[in-house]
Structures are given as structure tokens and as C-alpha cells.
């Protein structure tokens, strides 16, 4: 392992919520939502169908076009995903202070 210049190498126990739902637009969302002490309290959201992932907090959900861009979904699908994620993302906690 001496050939690597590690910026960090950290292990921790995380909580992962697996959820599958279909919205009114009939788009199926298969998500893994990981809670960790990293990312300033934001959650790691992984779309299991596409493999796309993003670290998401309430500020990201408020940014217009963010979910469409990250997950490559249309505006209607993003609105449904935003509605769901808004219920579970929560506020940002700065644990490094």
C-alpha cells in the first residue's frame, strides 16, 4: 500500500435505508439512503437502478434543477423525488465544530 497517497482512509458504522416507491408519474425509485457522520450531516442518496449518487442536504433540494441534473430524470420525476427526500433529509449538523 505504500504506492498510494491517501487523502483519507476512514471507516465508520453507517445507517442505510433502502426504499422503493412509485410516484404519480409512475416512475419507480429504488434508493439507498445512507446516514453518516461525514458530509456535514447531508445524506448519501444512491439510485440503485442507474448507479447515480449524490450527497444531498436541504440546500441541495432547494436548488432548482439539481435532482434533474444529478439523477438524469425529468422535472415531474424530480418533483416527486424532492417531495419524498424533503421528508427524510433533515437539517445539516456541523459535527466538526
Q: pTM value?
A: 0.86
Q: Is the pLDDT of residue 1 over 70?
A: no
**What percent of the chain has pLDDT above 90?**
71
pLDDT in tens, 48-92: 999 999 999 999 999 999 999 999 999 999 999 999 999 999 777
Neighbours of 67 (CB within 10 A): 23
Which residues, at least 6 apart from 22, have a Cβ–Cβ distance to it below 8 Å? 28, 29
Assess contact for 82 and 67: CB atoms under 8 A.
yes
Amino acid at each position: 500500500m505504500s504506492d498510494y497517497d491517501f487523502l483519507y482512509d476512514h471507516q465508520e458504522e453507517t445507517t442505510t435505508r433502502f426504499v422503493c416507491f412509485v410516484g404519480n408519474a409512475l416512475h419507480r425509485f429504488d434508493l439507498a439512503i445512507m446516514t453518516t457522520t461525514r458530509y456535514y450531516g447531508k445524506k448519501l442518496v444512491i439510485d440503485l437502478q442507474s448507479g447515480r449518487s449524490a450527497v444531498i442536504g436541504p440546500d441541495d433540494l432547494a436548488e432548482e434543477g439539481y435532482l434533474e441534473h444529478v439523477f438524469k430524470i425529468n422535472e415531474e420525476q424530480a418533483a416527486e423525488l424532492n417531495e419524498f427526500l424533503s421528508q427524510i433529509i433533515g437539517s445539516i449538523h456541523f459535527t466538526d465544530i
